[in-house]
Structure 1
Amino acid sequence: MALNNTYGARLVQQETALGAGVQILLLALLGSATGMGPAGWLTGLVFAVASWAVLSRAVHRSRLSSFGPANRVTLGRATLVGGVTALVADSFRSSPPVTLFVALTAVALILDGVDGKVARRTGTSSALGARFDMEVDAFLILVLSVYVSAELGPWVLLIGGMRYTFVAAARVWPWLTAPLPPSTARKTVAALQGVFLLLAGAELLPHVANAGVVALALGLLVWSFGRDVLWLWRTSRSRAMTAGETSHVAKDVELIAG
């Protein structure tokens, strides 16, 4: 059994390394198609190496014996996100081909709805898979925010930075780390962020319309995060009050027993 587990772990690590190799191949294809400059190449390579290192460490710590079909879908999506990241980094030198940028981003967004379904249907859902999916989503939104902010202004970065601000705040206020109840509204708002940012970045609408679309995305995101933070705060207060009452009851029982 130990040998089988070790063999499975090696296969998982090989799959993560293969993902990094495919990422570099995609960069080569994009470079030849767009004449990508040093910034795009460097950013894409850093993304490939960093994502491989982080994923490999997470896989090792989770002791997976099989990477699973859902994680393979997410890994493919991460590869596309790496390509988008390289194009966005290169956009500060020259505008990337809009069709290529839209195509890569659109496929990455579409696949976001695939990996979860694959995990449920194959019974391969895992904490690692959920975290992997979430981190790829968040990074894509951040990259799209950077791209769109070049046209609409730095305020767009609030969209991409909100999730990371929430994570940083949770280090100061641990009650923010409590699990949230499932919410269709939360999932819908999160999915719309990528769609709205892609629409604004596709250059299909006038400047004012793009600003309105992105402002709507930001408003929905603020509402969603605000609702979740309020729920977490109220839940933490309720638990603190319950714990306090329990403590008082325990002390009273001790006094009576004494």
Structure 2
Amino acid sequence: MVAQFGVLGVLAGTVGLAPTGWLAGVAFSIATWVFLTGALHRSGAESFGPANAVTLARCTLVGGVTALVADSFTTSVHVGALVGVAFVAWLMDGIDGQVARRTGTTTALGARFDGEVDSILALVLTVYLAQSLGGWVIAIGALRYAYVVAGWALPWLRGDLPRRQSRSAIAAALGFVLVVAASGLLPVAAAGVLVGLSLGVVSWSFGRDIRFLYRRRAVSIRTASASRPFIGVGQHS
């Protein structure tokens, strides 16, 4: 939380930060603290680890992006600062994974934390882009959370997925596309086409994972049905 307040303070002292941005940044910091505290307790981890420390640093930058995006709804924000912080946060993605592998501290918590930071950055950037490209853009950032909510009703969606390099590549490419679109360097029409293509690719990736989990569930049901003993007439007692 101290680091997050430091990022917010730097933004306030350089490009300015309205009360809306401060409120969003503080709320982001509290939510991060609650999430990490609960996750560490459930995982039984004895230490945070160097890789998670890198992810946390990236998370504080995303908190700064969140504050600037919140301000953009009430006042004009410094686009260069928003894009610059978002770009650094995107650029740091992957460093935590390298640190985890080199230090032998790869954990499920670290992978989950890294993925959540990616998802939040994508959601925040799409909220910002929705002001110029339209509300449909938010679907890109909302897909991940719709998937999670669906898993509450359909437990088979919470199954483990195979590691796929393409999934990581799509996530990395998506972050870059959203940062470029947010920069305003592209014409609005070109940015819309690029983001639209990204929505298609991300939807395909989610669809592939859902199909995999559904097929595995179907196989499990058939296997369980085949192994169930046959109970014929006269065998009920």
**TM-score, normalising length: structure 1:** 0.87
d(CA) in 1 for partners of 2:167, 2:45: 29
Higher mean alpha-carbon deviation, 179-188 vs 37-46, is at 179-188
Alignment correspondent of 2:132: 151
d(CA) in 1 for partners of 2:213, 2:88: 34
Of 155, 158, 162, which aligns to 1:181?
162
Of 187, 209, 225, which aligns to 1:206?
187
d(CA) in 2 for partners of 1:174, 1:75: 29
Alignment correspondent of 2:147: 166
Of 204, 215, 218, which aligns to 1:223?
204
* One-letter amino acid of the counterpart of residue 69, structure 2: V
CA drift of 1:61 comes to: 2.7
**TM-score, normalising length: structure 2:** 0.95
* One-letter amino acid of the counterpart of residue 110, structure 1: L
Of 184, 196, 207, which aligns to 2:177?
196
Alignment correspondent of 1:69: 50
Say whether the 8 Å CA contact 2:29–2:63 is kept in structure 1.
Answer: yes
Report the secondary structure of 1:112's partner residue: coil
Report the secondary structure of 1:165's partner residue: helix
- Residue-by-residue CA offset, 1:81-125 (whole Å, 9 max, x unaligned): 000000000011223212211211111111111101110111001
CA drift of 1:78 comes to: 0.4
* Alignment map for 1:22-37 (pairs within 5 Å): 22-37=3-18
CA drift of 1:158 comes to: 0.3
5+ residue gaps, structure 1, are 1-19
Q: What is the root-mean-square deviation in Å for CA atoms of aligned residues?
A: 1.6
User: How many positions carry a matched residue from both structures?
Assistant: 235
d(CA) in 2 for partners of 1:116, 1:32: 32
Of 55, 58, 64, which aligns to 1:83?
64
d(CA) in 2 for partners of 1:179, 1:60: 21
CA drift of 1:210 comes to: 0.4
Alignment correspondent of 1:104: 85
* One-letter amino acid of the counterpart of residue 246, structure 1: S
CA drift of 1:49 comes to: 1.5
CA drift of 1:22 comes to: 0.8
Alignment correspondent of 2:112: 131
d(CA) in 1 for partners of 2:64, 2:70: 10
d(CA) in 2 for partners of 1:71, 1:226: 29
* One-letter amino acid of the counterpart of residue 114, structure 1: I
Higher mean alpha-carbon deviation, 155-164 vs 109-118, is at 109-118
